[in-house]
Amino acid sequence: MAGEPAGTFVRRLRLLTAAQHLAEDRRRPVTTIVQECGLPSSSAVAREFRNHFGITASARRRLDPNGKKRQLARKIREDTALSPAYSASMTQQAKMPGMEMTVEIRELPELHVAYVGHVGPYNTIGKAFDRLMAWAGPRGLLRFPETRVLAVYPGDPDAADESELRSMACITVPHGTSVETGAETMVIPGGLFAVAHGEIASDQFGTAWNALMEWLSTSGYQPDDRMCYEVYLNDHEAHPERKFIVDLCEPIRPL
């Protein structure tokens, strides 16, 4: 239907991902980048890269800022035009179909948080937030707007019964903050994330996450094993439509 076999499509996207990383990260060895993008390090790949872009992977880093570099950039744009979803990850921003949200690829820092754990359906995590806020307020840890409020989901929701789902209601706290009873602390790892941003109603969180994962399936990236989380950017009670302004943050790595 797309005019391109599935295997060729995947191979082309991996080559495009490698080209992008070679342009942006000159510190890592070419072989490492090629392997991380899902391509075997071999002379066959070198020939394929040269045939596709007109230069070798190593020469990619030795290009003059003008001339062939612009030629390669045009080639990347032409190829990604064949795949709109992947083009979104190359240009860093796209709109998720069916949702009033945009998605970007971002490098996010690690977060130091205090949290209260929750077991049960995700839509009942409000109880944990009530306990967290009651604990944090008297300790002077609610310092808005610098304090960020988020929910962390450490597991796979399809791998457990709804009554056994685990999540954490969190607030960011200064590094080294000590806690007593009532809460715990942890570090949420930073790194590369797909971040979906928008305004959603309280009953649209599942739909929004599904839309993000659908977008991710054709983006040239895949989820990795770091924790995903939601960052709440407003007081939804003060919103005229009682909507949440949120960032949905899914950790990723190249295919």
Q: What is the pLDDT of residue 31?
A: 80
Instruction: Give the tens place of pLDDT for each residue, 61-82.
Output: 665 444 444 455 455 445 544 4
Instruction: Give the tens place of pLDDT for each residue, 101-137.
Output: 899 999 999 999 999 999 998 989 999 999 999 999 9
Mean pLDDT calculated for residue range 42-51? 69
Mean pLDDT calculated for residue range 44-59? 70
Instruction: Give the tens place of pLDDT for each residue, 174-185.
Output: 988 888 788 999
CA-closest candidate to residue 232, choices 174, 145, 160, 110:
145
Q: What is the pLDDT of residue 219?
A: 86
Instruction: Give the tens place of pLDDT for each residue, 130-162.
Output: 999 999 999 999 998 899 999 999 876 765 678
Write down the residue that tokens 């949120």 correspond to. Answer: 246
| Cα dihedral sign, 195-101-254-69 | negative
> Rounded distance, CA 155 to CA 139, Å?
30
Q: What is the pLDDT of residue 142?
A: 92
Instruction: Among 20-24, 32-36, 186-190, name the most confident range.
Output: 186-190
Q: What is the pLDDT of residue 60?
A: 62
Q: What is the pLDDT of residue 77?
A: 47
Instruction: Give the tens place of pLDDT for each residue, 202-241.
Output: 889 988 998 898 888 888 888 888 899 999 999 988 999 9
What does pTM read for this prediction?
0.62
> How much is the mean pLDDT over the chain?
79
**Domains, the chain, ordered by start:** 6-82 (no CATH), 105-254 (3.20.80.10)
Residue 42, Cα to own-chain centre: how many angstroms? 30
**3-class SS shares of the chain: helix, strand, coil, % to 5:** 40, 25, 35
Q: What is the pLDDT of residue 67?
A: 42
Residues 6+ apart with CB under 8 A from 249: 108, 193, 194, 195, 228, 229, 230, 231
> Rounded distance, CA 245 to CA 231, Å?
9
